[in-house]
């Protein structure tokens, strides 16, 4: 395992120490070492945006803390949910009295811990509402959306929800638009090589060289099929074939496209995949309003990419275009 850690059991602690040092212009630690918050949180009168999840997905989750995006994040062990206490403390750090929008991904541990944290919050009169991201098309059939996982499309949910809150939206308005963003987003991943959690020391799933796993999850959850390794164009075609009919995305739609590397796939190759994705969309009359390519939601040093597509309406477009300043996503508005 060719990795740069100290005691692997303290990798998250060590990472957080460095992370807070580097991004002190944006975020700060809190009393709970597993909760980070926007330096100005709670922002008076503003709905607080909270998320959380396992570590190992940088920039997700703490990398999306910042102006016009997320206010507080609960940090878990690598690939494990944060505790209920961490979510609860994140709610408290982000709460200015206007309520909390907890926007997180559909995983058993996160569901359980957010639910418990909400009970704790209720006792302290903090209003918390949730949106549970389920953009991963490959993780369950379309008629079982409650079984679908959240993956890189969560970034759109945080972007849009965070922008709406910054514009003064009420809790119900923020929840409604974040829900719309995730309902309008479909994602799929393709894995080319597995990853190793440092404290484990070997991969806990395998991808045979010469093959790729279509529909793989962010933690190596099995996909829908194992295929011979395709070209970048073929990978783009396989992914759009899965995503486009599911929404469905149709001629005349305007979309945002995110190709995120899973960690070790060179960014160069992500642009090659993107190039074909945009061609396919153009052939179908679907217009790309904005696109992102890079390591936006990773899984340690896994190889592969996820593709996420968000269907826009005027409200979503305005919120997507809004200026944002986080570690993981910085965007100027001219």
Nearer to a copy of itself, 121 or 293 (CB): 293
298: contact with a copy of itself by CB under 8 A: yes
**Is 289 annotated in the active site?**
no
Nearest one of 221, 288, 219, 300 to 259, comparing CA atoms: 288
By CB under 8 A, how many residues form the interface with a copy of itself? Answer: 56
Angstrom distance (rounded) from CA 120 to CA 86: 11
Q: Which is nearer to a copy of itself, 111 or 196 (CB)?
A: 196
Q: Which stretch binds a copy of itself (CB under 8 A): 13-21, 140-148, 214-222, 243-251?
A: 13-21
Our finding on whether 274 is near a copy of itself (CB under 8 A) is: yes
Stretch that binds a copy of itself, among 102-110, 148-156, 163-171, 261-269 (CB under 8 A): 261-269
What is d(CA 148, CA 141) in angstroms, rounded to the nearest whole number?
8
250 binds a copy of itself (CB under 8 A): no
Please identify, among the stretches 107-115, 149-157, 170-178, 258-266, the one whose residues bind a copy of itself according to the rule CB under 8 A: 258-266
Catalytic annotation on 23?
A: no
Tokens of 203: 């991969």
User: What binding mask, one character per residue, do residues 133-172 give for a copy of itself by CB under 8 A, x or -?
Assistant: ----------------------------------------
**β pairing state of 35-38 and 324-326:** unpaired
196-215: contacts with a copy of itself (CB under 8 A)? 207, 209, 212
Q: Which one, 3 or 147, has the nearer CB to a copy of itself?
A: 3
Positions of E strands within the chain:
27-29, 35-38, 48-55, 66-67, 72-78, 100-105, 128-133, 185-193, 211-214, 225-228, 254-261, 287-294, 303-311, 324-326, 330-331
Place of tokens 């005027």: 314
Token pair for 73: 């994040």
The reply to whether 18 sits near a copy of itself by the rule CB under 8 A is yes
User: Is 44 among the residues that bind a copy of itself (CB under 8 A)?
Assistant: no
Annotated catalytic residue within 23, 218, 219, 289: 219
3-state SS of 118-162 is HHHHHHCCCCEEEEEECCEHHHCCCCCHHHCCCCCCHHHHHHHHH
Closest contact distance (angstroms) between CB of 197 and a copy of itself is 11
Whether cis (ω within 30° of 0) applies to the bond prior to 42 is yes
Q: Which residues bind a copy of itself (CB under 8 A)?
A: 2-6, 11, 14-19, 21-22, 55-56, 58-59, 192-193, 207, 209, 212, 229, 231-233, 235, 263-275, 278, 288, 291-293, 295, 298, 300-301, 303, 305, 325, 330-332
Residues tagged active-site: 57, 219
């Amino acid at each position: 395992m060719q990795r740069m850690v100290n005691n692997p059991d303290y990798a998250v602690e060590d990472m957080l120490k460095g992370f807070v040092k580097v991004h002190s212009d944006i975020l700060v630690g809190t009393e709970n070492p597993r909760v980070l918050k926007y330096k100005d949180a709670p922002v008076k009168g503003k709905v607080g945006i909270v998320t959380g999840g396992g570590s190992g997905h940088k920039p997700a989750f703490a990398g999306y803390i910042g102006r016009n995006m997320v206010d507080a994040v609960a940090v878990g062990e690598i690939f494990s949910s944060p505790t209920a206490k961490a979510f609860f403390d994140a709610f408290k750090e982000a709460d200015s009295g206007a309520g909390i929008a907890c926007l997180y991904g559909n995983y058993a541990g996160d569901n359980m811990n957010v639910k418990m944290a909400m009970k704790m919050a209720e006792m302290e009169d903090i209003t918390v509402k949730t949106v549970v991201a389920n953009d991963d098309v490959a993780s369950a059939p379309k008629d079982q959306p409650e079984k679908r996982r959240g993956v890189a499309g969560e970034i759109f949910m945080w972007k849009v929800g965070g922008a709406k809150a910054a514009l003064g939206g009420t809790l119900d308005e923020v929840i409604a638009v974040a829900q719309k963003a995730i309902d309008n987003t479909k994602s799929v991943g393709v894995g080319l090589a597995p990853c190793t959690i440092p404290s484990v020391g070997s991969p806990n799933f395998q991808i045979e060289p010469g093959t790729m796993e279509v529909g793989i999850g962010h933690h190596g959850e099995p996909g829908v099929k194992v295929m011979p390794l395709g070209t970048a164009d073929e990978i783009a075609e396989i992914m759009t074939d899965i995503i486009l009919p599911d929404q469905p995305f149709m001629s005349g739609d305007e979309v945002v496209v995110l190709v995120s590397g899973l960690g070790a796939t060179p960014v160069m190759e992500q642009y090659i995949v993107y190039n074909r994705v945009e061609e396919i969309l153009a052939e179908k009359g679907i217009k790309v309003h904005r696109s992102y390519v890079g390591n936006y939601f990773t899984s340690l040093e896994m190889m592969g990419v996820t593709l996420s597509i968000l269907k826009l309406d005027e409200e979503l477009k305005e919120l997507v275009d809004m200026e944002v300043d986080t570690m993981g996503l910085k965007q100027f508005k001219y």
